[in-house]
Structure 1
Amino acid sequence: MSDAQSVKALLAKLRDFISLLKAPFVGRDDEALVITMAIVSGEHAVLIGEPGTAKSAMARRAADLLHARFFKYLLTKFTEPGELFGPLDVKALREGEYRRITRGKLPEAEIAFLDEIFNANSAVLNSLLSVLQERIFYDGYTEIRVPLWSLIAASNRVPDDPELEALYDRLLYRHHVKPLSEDLWDKLLDAAWAIESGAYDKPKPVLSMGEIKELNKLLFKVDLSPVKNQLLRLFTVFEEKGMHVSDRRKGKALKAIAAHALIEGRLAATETDLMALRYVIPKDIDDFEKVDVILREEVRSKERILREIEEIRLNIRRFAEEVRRSMEFDMRLTEYYKRLTQAKAKLSKIGESSDDPEIRKSVETLNDEIDDLIQEIMMKLNL
């Protein structure tokens, strides 16, 4: 298999991974994307929201799909380091050796989920920081290198304690998980019943941790130059809107953009990939909405492009009604002809600048409508 074929196969598996990750859960596409981006980039994420929104279930499913060693724990202010990192080996201690029994604990996990992470006390916090940043657990005078690849954390709040600032900053991806809207409750009940009845068995792995590491290497081969200037402009916009982005997070944002491109099956970033910033820039709970609004205004996201196409479609339908009511040689037909050719040029530009199949299909369909309408105008004008 050639290198190009190998990359293509790897990206296909990544698409299968995110598709299977979100399969049992209704309305949790964003959460699946955040977790996948964190894993591809070898970073950590925090999901902020009320309990019962599938946060831990998605983290566990992600680990199952990777056949990764998984660790899960709920933190309280009374959680002792030994609960996470393993108890002291009493037998070894009697023999003068300081050692922990880490089997099944955080130091042996590749993917971990820590619920209510901001309840961590100082003793746990100090150890967590080094594990997240350096992948090293400092235990007394011993340094233990840990295999942790990504930590998925959860909390029902954004921390306001200065002591937790460093921990919060280590979690590159941040996402506000909201309860499902009323229009999805019907699907939610069906999905919940299917899960409870065992319709979804433990999933078979679709990627290995070795392949995830290959994807992580591929991350740094993504061409970011097409979006660099716009990214710099966005950082300026965020600052002007009162959202300071640290130098560290500015640099880390590149990993999020590259990860988004890989998930979309590309080795070159496009404007759409800048939407990944919605998971990197927010700090306070209000920032999530503010960042999303800014990005939708500044970035030609798929949603924005489709809305633009829909506006053109409505205008064309209006022109079609006017044309069909017009008599032959009606001078207004020349104005409709002019506007339709302008719309066709605009659509062509949209289609040429996008590699999204849905957008290209919409443009193609609408262009066909315009051609038919132009032909009808020409017949009425006897041209």
Structure 2
Amino acid sequence: MFNRVQNDKSPEELMKLASQFLTELESPFVGRHEEALVITLALLTGEHVVLIGEPGTAKSAMARRSADLLDVKFFKYLLTKFTEPSELFGPLDIRALRQGSYRRITTGKLPEAEIAFLDEIFNANSAVLNSILSIMQERVLYDGYTEIKVPLWTLVGASNRVPEEPELEALYDRFLFRQNVKPLDEEAWESLIDAAWKLEMGNVERPPKVMGMEDLRMLNSLLFKVDLTPVKNKLLRLFMIMNEKELNISDRRKGKILKAVAAHALLNGRLQATESDLVILKYTVPRDVDDFDKVNTILIEELKTKERILRELEEIAANVRVSERSVAQLEAFDPRLLDIYKNLKVAKGKIQSLVQDVEDEEIRRKAEEVNELIENLTQEIMIKLNM
């Protein structure tokens, strides 16, 4: 779809830029890591993303910031049922029309944007719907007898609903990435109002350029050098599970999901996919709002995700605390102490297996806490057994 380009940056340098971009994109926004992630994944893959949720959740601000970080042309518009083509694509050139030529003045409009944000995207009426579809899919605006090639790389859509109208199904399907944007939990409110006050005071400057379109094109080319072999069987298993749960994935979407897996690997500095990259299914499989929780539950159960690892570490910690109470009640040289001692060694081995190759700081800290519990209890048992 996009022209392949070359520059002098190594794959490692490009992957570092992608990671830096994500960090910079989310930095001013409290609790919006996943929204920043799906926008970054959409940019790396050259695909589109729709953010579904109520107003006031930083959707448009994040889209604009992504354009600022790339220093590219940005277009933003709120669609209504009455939006005219000229509002999106530019007015007709009257002077050219008088001379018998049909042409639009596209300056500052969607046909010139590299990143665009269309709010309430599912208000698109029949007058603009087909044109938006062709721009998203073909990067071409068919206008009268004219075909206008457009530079659009990624369209960020926003809506407070999932469309139910059959005529909007094709538009919704064009968004590879979908994220259900929820209001922040209460524990994040203090950080939120601090950030909002800083914004109101005008203390948030336009962010510096992190990388350019040439870098983004190179990253897009690099996707196809990612080795997906290690996750192929697991991905096929997940597709089957989703199908059994009536989470239908079209053949076309299954193919595009591979790009998303590769993009997630690049974001994590790898040219080989791992099971953790399959977490992107939570952004690419759901159709309805209820589907987001369904998919997330499946992934937690099936993948070595952060949530699953933390849950298992907490279960180990709970079992150790139960053992602590038992040890406190047992006399010295009680044979049951040896059984507990052996179980603690098994638990320690399980922790090592859980955190192997995991770089997440929260997981590392939790593992250290549980290991410390095990170590303290092991020492207590050894004293009682005179070991």
Class of the TM-score when normalised by the shorter of the 2 chains: over 0.9
The answer for the alignment partner of 1:47 in structure 2 is 51
Query: Partner amino acid for 2:294?
Result: K
How do 1:100-179 and structure 2 match up within 5 A?
A: 100-179=104-183
Q: Matched residues in 1 for 2:47 and 2:82: separation?
A: 27
Q: Matched residues in 1 for 2:365 and 2:56: separation?
A: 38
> Post-superposition shift, 1:366?
4.1
From 264, 276, 295, the equivalent of 2:280 is 276
Q: Matched residues in 1 for 2:371 and 2:184: separation?
A: 37
From 23, 27, 31, the equivalent of 1:23 is 27
The answer for the alignment partner of 2:14 in structure 1 is 10
Deviates more, 1:28-37 or 1:373-382: 373-382
> Post-superposition shift, 1:297?
1.8
Q: Matched residues in 1 for 2:159 and 2:67: separation?
A: 20
Query: Partner amino acid for 1:96?
Result: G
From 77, 82, 87, the equivalent of 1:78 is 82
- Spell out, residue by residue over 1:251-276, the C-alpha distance to the aligned partner (whole angstroms, 9 max, x if none): 11111111122222222222221111
- Does the 8 Å CA contact 1:47/1:174 hold for their aligned counterparts? yes
From 223, 230, 234, the equivalent of 1:230 is 234
Query: Partner amino acid for 2:171?
Result: L
When residues 202 and 68 of structure 1 are mapped into structure 2, their CA distance, relative to the original with a 3 A threshold, is same
Q: Matched residues in 2 for 1:193 and 1:112: separation?
A: 27
When residues 28 and 161 of structure 1 are mapped into structure 2, their CA distance, relative to the original with a 3 A threshold, is same
Q: Matched residues in 2 for 1:9 and 1:287: separation?
A: 37
The answer for the alignment partner of 1:59 in structure 2 is 63
- Gap regions ≥5 residues in structure 2: 1-6
When residues 188 and 143 of structure 1 are mapped into structure 2, their CA distance, relative to the original with a 3 A threshold, is same
Query: Partner amino acid for 1:137?
Result: L
From 24, 33, 37, the equivalent of 1:33 is 37
- Spell out, residue by residue over 1:266-297, the C-alpha distance to the aligned partner (whole angstroms, 9 max, x if none): 22222221111111111112212211222212
- Does the 8 Å CA contact 1:24/1:195 hold for their aligned counterparts? no
- Does the 8 Å CA contact 1:329/1:380 hold for their aligned counterparts? yes
Query: Partner amino acid for 2:313?
Result: I
When residues 362 and 284 of structure 1 are mapped into structure 2, their CA distance, relative to the original with a 3 A threshold, is closer
Moved over 6 A (4+): none
The answer for the alignment partner of 2:4 in structure 1 is none
The answer for the alignment partner of 1:184 in structure 2 is 188
Q: Matched residues in 2 for 1:212 and 1:167: separation?
A: 25
> Post-superposition shift, 1:194?
0.8
> Post-superposition shift, 1:356?
4.2
- Spell out, residue by residue over 1:47-91, the C-alpha distance to the aligned partner (whole angstroms, 9 max, x if none): 111111111011001100110110001111111111111111111
The answer for the alignment partner of 1:211 in structure 2 is 215
Q: Matched residues in 2 for 1:10 and 1:122: separation?
A: 41
The alignment status of 1:94 with 2:98, answered yes or no, reads: yes
When residues 286 and 365 of structure 1 are mapped into structure 2, their CA distance, relative to the original with a 3 A threshold, is closer
SS of equivalent to 1:62: helix
The alignment status of 1:332 with 2:363, answered yes or no, reads: no
Q: Matched residues in 2 for 1:322 and 1:199: separation?
A: 57
> Post-superposition shift, 1:28?
1.1
SS of equivalent to 1:30: helix
- Spell out, residue by residue over 1:130-170, the C-alpha distance to the aligned partner (whole angstroms, 9 max, x if none): 11001111111221111100000001111111111111100
> Post-superposition shift, 1:353?
5.2
The answer for the alignment partner of 2:262 in structure 1 is 258
- Gap regions ≥5 residues in structure 1: none
Q: Matched residues in 1 for 2:110 and 2:93: separation?
A: 16
- Does the 8 Å CA contact 1:224/1:269 hold for their aligned counterparts? yes
SS of equivalent to 1:242: coil
Q: Matched residues in 1 for 2:149 and 2:36: separation?
A: 28
Q: Matched residues in 1 for 2:293 and 2:369: separation?
A: 34
Q: Matched residues in 1 for 2:146 and 2:154: separation?
A: 23
- Does the 8 Å CA contact 2:320/2:374 hold for their aligned counterparts? yes
Q: Matched residues in 2 for 1:311 and 1:360: separation?
A: 16
> Post-superposition shift, 1:373?
3.9
Q: Matched residues in 1 for 2:363 and 2:230: separation?
A: 20
> Post-superposition shift, 1:382?
2.7
SS of equivalent to 1:200: coil
How do 1:276-355 and structure 2 match up within 5 A?
A: 276-352=280-356, 354-355=358-359
When residues 5 and 56 of structure 1 are mapped into structure 2, their CA distance, relative to the original with a 3 A threshold, is closer
Alignment RMSD (CA, Å): 2.0
SS of equivalent to 1:220: helix
- Does the 8 Å CA contact 1:222/1:258 hold for their aligned counterparts? yes
Query: Partner amino acid for 2:154?
Result: S
Query: Partner amino acid for 2:223?
Result: L
Q: Matched residues in 2 for 1:8 and 1:359: separation?
A: 25
